[in-house]
Structure 1
């Protein structure tokens, strides 16, 4: 990957830094009685309910209730959250070490489409690994969609990160594993890299640039 003239890097979280498997959540809800959860939610698309939850427009209580109504099921909060969180996996230490090295040379930022339930869960996962404070210290600033009221791939979401940190789009690199988010960043001039399946973040940065 060519990083010449890059002055800053914006990272996605799930599927880039934190391992993610949408299939586990899809299977989890199917086991709870939802016949086709994949039609409601997957990596490429999701319905408005998920967008509202990821931008903080509705609470976890409202999300659970409304999604169960859509799926025509009734389950406990514990079972619901277990299925919803199933996609969140481990945090490989080698990626944290990479971020720590990169931060010595670049301002780096985290921009994640996420929600109240997932934030609590991945904080636990990260805390049990390296400590959540150690993780957030890898970045100059962390942006979670449910806290800023904006989500990728909207131009407003990317522009918030650029404007708040005095970044130039053409000199900023954005790394994500979802094509629709990459396209949103490209549309406003941000340089991008789509992380492919089976490709690890660490492979994008040879030691010569660290």
Structure 2
């Protein structure tokens, strides 16, 4: 195995706990009973893919209302959508400064402006002296770069931006689809499955 010089982290399910069932329940409580068919951990319909690649937030709310037939307020949609965000894995975050002394660290997350604002707000309550993105050499969010995993273009965006050697780059994600896509590009990978933690990987 080639020596690792850079690590690319996923966010949800790796450094931040998430539970899609909570958002499904929050929408069900609002009368949206088909949410799981629109979005879950393994599938996103066209609307949510657009949200994760930069569609305007207000347009998302309008299209969500149209697609579900529910006249919900923006705030109701936002709060239900944010329900899946749980706590940061503080023990995992705590090892990042040590890892950064040995490797280049990057974040590559499929996310959207609604979730980004919320998890950055929560992190700010924990660590007022440091922005979340400052934990990494650079942080990349799908809705800002216009590319989402598992598309090869998402990985290539980061690799090319920093002239990284794929074979010397480790990618850590909880999605097997994303892991397989990264491996196909020649990257080293760790599939972080339930119960596994970054701090226990011996990096």
When the two structures are superposed, what TM-score results if normalisation uses the length of structure 1? 0.92
Question: Structure 1: which 4+ aligned runs deviate by more than 3 Å?
Answer: 131-134
Kept in 2: contact 1:126–1:132 (CA 8 A): no
| Structure-2 residue corresponding to 1:191 | 188
| Structure-2 residue corresponding to 1:62 | 59
1:51 is aligned, of 38, 49, 52, to 49
1:22 is aligned, of 7, 15, 20, to 20
| Structure-2 residue corresponding to 1:176 | 173
Q: Does 1:158 align with 2:155?
A: yes
RMSD of the alignment, in Å?
A: 1.4
| Structure-1 residue corresponding to 2:73 | 76
| Structure-2 residue corresponding to 1:101 | 98
Moved more, 5-14 or 63-72: 63-72
- Equivalent residues, number: 203
| Structure-1 residue corresponding to 2:10 | 12
Kept in 2: contact 1:96–1:135 (CA 8 A): no
Structure 2 CA distance for aligned equivalents of residues 135 and 78 of structure 1: 24
Structure 1 CA distance for aligned equivalents of residues 12 and 129 of structure 2: 15
Q: Does 1:42 align with 2:48?
A: no
SS at match of 1:6: coil
Q: Does 1:204 align with 2:195?
A: no
SS at match of 1:152: coil
Kept in 1: contact 2:2–2:167 (CA 8 A): no
Structure 2 CA distance for aligned equivalents of residues 144 and 19 of structure 1: 17
CA displacement at 1:4 relative to structure 2:
5.8
When the two structures are superposed, what TM-score results if normalisation uses the length of structure 2? 0.95
Runs of 5+ unmatched residues, structure 2: none
Runs of 5+ unmatched residues, structure 1: none
